[in-house]
Amino acid sequence: MFDLLKNKLTSFTEKLRQGLEGKVRPTAEKPVEEPNREINVLGEERKPEEKLQELRQADHRELKARVGIGKAVAGLFTGEVKIEEKDLRGFLEELELALLEADVEQETALQLVEEIQRELNGKKAKASDLNGFLRLEMKKALLKLVETKALDLLGACAKKKPFVVLLLGPNGAGKTTTIAKLTAYLQKHGKRVVWAASDTFRAASIEQLEEHAKRLGVRVVKHTYGADPAAVAFDAVKAAEAGRFDVVLIDSAGRQETNRNLMEELKKINRVVKPDLRVYVGEAYAGQALLGQATEFDRELGLDGFVLTKIDADAKGGTALSLLHRLRKPILFVGTGQRYEDLVEFKPEFIVERVIGG
C-alpha cells in the first residue's frame, strides 16, 4: 500500500511539475527584493490580517466522496452511511493533489493521506451531507496531525528576565527584519528590548541593525566586524541584566547548514549565552530545501520554533504543514511583508484552510 501510493505520488509530482512549468511560482532561488530599509513607507494598504484572509480565500480543489448508488439509497432510509475505503478513494486522491499543489513535501503528504484514511475509514456520517462531514473530519484530522505544543512568547518573557532569543537561519531569509518586527511587537506589549549585533560577518550588517534600532529606539550591543559573535551576545545579556531589560534578541549571520565554521560559531553562542529560545527564520516558499535545512539545524543546535517569512510571496503554506508534521516545533509567527507590523501570530487553522479550503 505504502509503496504503491509512493509510486503514484512520484509520478504525480512529476506531472504536477510539468503542469506548473511556465507558471509564476516562487522558489528558494527566487531573488528577493534588495533590502528595503524604508519600512513603513512602502505604501502597502492592506493590513497583514487582510492579506492572510485573501490568501485563505484562493481557489481550492473540490474534495468530494463518491458513494455507490446502493449505499446512497440505503442511506436514505437509515439517515446515515458507513464510510468505507472505496468511498474515500476519489476524495483522498483530491486531497493528495491539494497537498502536493500546496508544496507539502511528498513524504509528509503521503503520511497525512494515509493517516486521514485510517481516521475516516469506518466512520458513520449523515447521508444528507456526506461531503460536509468528510471535510470537517479531514480538517480536524489534519489539525491533529500537525499539532505542536503552542509557545506563548509573552508568557515566557514574563517568567524570565532577560529572556534571550537567538534568531538564526539561511542568508537573506529575513532574520534581521524579523528582529525589528518582533521588537515592535514586544514593545507594543510593554517589553524593553536589547539587541546583540552578532552578525559580525556580513558587510553592513551592523549598520542595518543600527538603522532599525534608531527607528525603534532600541539599544544595540556591538563589537567590530570579525569579532566573536558569542562575545557580543554575552555582552548584550550582561547589559540587559544591568539595565533590567526584558528581552535580548541576538541577530546572527546567515548560513547554510553545510558551512561547518559558521555552524560551530552558532554552537558557541548556544554554549556561551544559553538562549531561552532558538528560532529558525526561513522563507515560507523554500519548501523541501527549508525542511532539510531546518532538520539539520535542529540536529546540530536544537531549535525551539520557527518564523516563516515572506508568506506574502508564497501563499501556499505547504512548507508550514511539512515543518509542523515532521519537526513538531511551533511556528511562532509568519512574516507578511516588509513593514514592522507585517508579523502575524501563526495559527495552524490558517494553513490547513489554505491547503484544503475553509
Residue 239 interacting partner from Mg ion, ligand GTP, none (CB closer than 5 to 8 Å by kind):
none
176 binds Mg ion (CB under 5 A): yes
Answer yes or no whether residue 309 interacts with Mg ion by CB under 5 A: no
List the single partner that 337 binds among Mg ion, ligand GTP, none, CB under 5 to 8 Å by kind.
Answer: ligand GTP
Considering CB distances under 5 to 8 angstroms, the limit depending on partner class, which of ligand GTP, Mg ion, none binds residue 172? ligand GTP
Q: Which residues bind ligand GTP (CB under 6 A)?
A: 32-33, 35-36, 171-177, 199, 202, 205, 254, 309-310, 312-313, 335-338, 342
Rounded to the nearest 10 degrees, the angle between the axes of helix 318-327 and helix 85-101 is: 110
Q: For residues 317 and 102, is the Cβ–Cβ distance under 8 A?
A: yes
Look at residues 340, 78, 9 and name the one whose alpha carbon lies nearest to residue 193. 340
Q: How far is the CB of 30 from Mg ion (least distance, A)?
A: 18
Question: Amino acid letter at 303?
Answer: L
Please, are residues 98 and 60 in contact by the beta-carbon 8 Å criterion?
A: yes
Q: Which of Mg ion, ligand GTP, none does residue 309 bind (CB under 5 to 8 Å by kind)?
A: ligand GTP
First to last CA, the chain: 30
Considering beta carbons, is residue 116 or 233 the nearer one to Mg ion?
Answer: 233
- In this structure, the strands spanning 163-168 and 277-283 are parallel
Give the residue at shortest CB distance from Mg ion: 176
CA torsion angle for 141, 143, 144, 145 (degrees, to 10)? Answer: 90
The count of residues interacting with Mg ion (CB under 5 A) is 2
Q: Closest approach of Cβ 35 to ligand GTP, in Å?
A: 4
The partner in contact with residue 312, picked from ligand GTP, Mg ion, none with C-beta cut-offs of 5 to 8 angstroms by kind, is ligand GTP
C-alpha to C-alpha distances, 80 to 73, 126, 211, nearest whole angstrom: 10, 4, 64
Phi, psi (deg, nearest 5) at residue 146:
-110, 15
192 binds, among Mg ion, ligand GTP, none (CB under 5 to 8 A by kind): none
Would you say 197 or 324 has its CB closer to ligand GTP?
A: 197
* Minimum CB distance to Mg ion, residue 262 (Å): 13
Looking at the Cβ atoms of 200 and 205, the one nearer to ligand GTP is 205
Sequence-ordered alpha helix ranges (H) in the chain: 2-20, 48-56, 69-78, 85-101, 106-120, 130-145, 153-159, 175-188, 205-216, 229-243, 260-273, 287-301, 318-327, 348-356
Shorter beta-carbon distance to ligand GTP: residue 96 or 103:
103
293 is a site residue for Mg ion (CB under 5 A): no
Q: How far is the CB of 252 from ligand GTP (least distance, A)?
A: 8
Beta pairing partners, 194: 219, 248
∠ CA 30-358-95, nearest 5°, is 70
Closest CB to ligand GTP among 78 and 171?
Answer: 171
Least gap, CB of 181 to Mg ion (angstroms): 13
**C-alpha cell read off for 22:** 511556465
Instruction: Output 135 or 310, the one with its CB closest to ligand GTP.
Output: 310
Indicate which of ligand GTP, Mg ion, none lies near residue 36 (CB less than 5 to 8 Å, by partner kind). ligand GTP
The HSE-up count of residue 55 (CA atoms within 13 Å, CB side) is: 25
Binding site for Mg ion (CB under 5 A): 175-176
